[in-house]
Amino acid sequence: MSQSLTDQEREKRLRKKAVVDQRIAQATEERGVLILLKGNGKGKSSSAFGTLARALGHEQRCAVIQFIKGRKETGEFLFFKDHPLLDFHVMGHGFTWETQDKSLEQQAADQAWQVAEQLLGDDRYQLLIFDEMSYMFKYGYLDATVVAERIGNRPRHQSVIVTGRTMHRELLDIADTISIIQDERHAFRAGVKAQPGIEW
Ligand code: ATP
Ligand code: MG
């Protein structure tokens, strides 16, 4: 059943379109962006990997560093790891939820940051994902001031996505886009077991 718009509705849409067109006309800057995905809800890493698929679809060179290594190999790792335009780094033997050895964790964080710094200086990479990086600041393994300074000086056309439940002030100050993923409800709390394809 098709229904045509009333004059009033049509006018409202035209006004809205004019506003959007004006905003589009004003957004003329071409450069990479820093995107922060924070908050306690589910959807941060999966959003970052969705953007990764998008960038790879456009044949852009990308890299991922996962700062926390879970117990299981993730679906995103298995799916993306062999892509010719992607470097996929999972932070070494160090930081997992199970280990208690701070010096091993520090060593792993240092190694991951070394890779990150290199990528932040390489303009062939158009998108970098630093997944769960915020935990490194929380536990004092990385210095947020140093990281923010380095991210701020990255190549102009490079974009960076950082995920993690909390974000450090230094990164918030320089971010272009910040999304807070809110936790309204999660199946886990109703007793639904974590499952491959949804959780990892
Ligand atoms: P995802 O990878 O699913 O996008 P995320 O990156 O937003 O999740 P993290 O804090 O990294 O969330 O947690 C990773 C894991 O914890 C995922 O398996 C996710 O499903 C689960 N999870 C995320 N948020 C919650 C929550 N509020 N309660 C319980 N489990 C959660
Ligand atoms: Mg995550």
pLDDT score at 48: 98
47 C-alpha to ligand 2 centroid (Å): 9
Which residues are within 8 A (CB) of 142 and not within 5 positions of it... i.e. 6 or more apart? 109, 113, 133, 136
Instruction: State the architecture of 32-183 in CATH terms.
Output: 3-Layer(aba) Sandwich (3.40)
Domain ranges of the chain: 32-183
- For a ligand 1 pocket test, name from 36, 37, 38, 42 the mutation site with the most ligand atoms within 8 angstroms of its C-beta: 42
pTM, full prediction: 0.90
Residue that is written with structure tokens 């993690």 in the block: 164
Indicate if ligand 1 lies below 6 Å from the C-beta of 17. Answer: no
- For residues 37 and 178, give the distance between their C-alpha atoms in angstroms, rounded to a whole number: 6
pLDDT score at 79: 97
pLDDT score at 94: 52
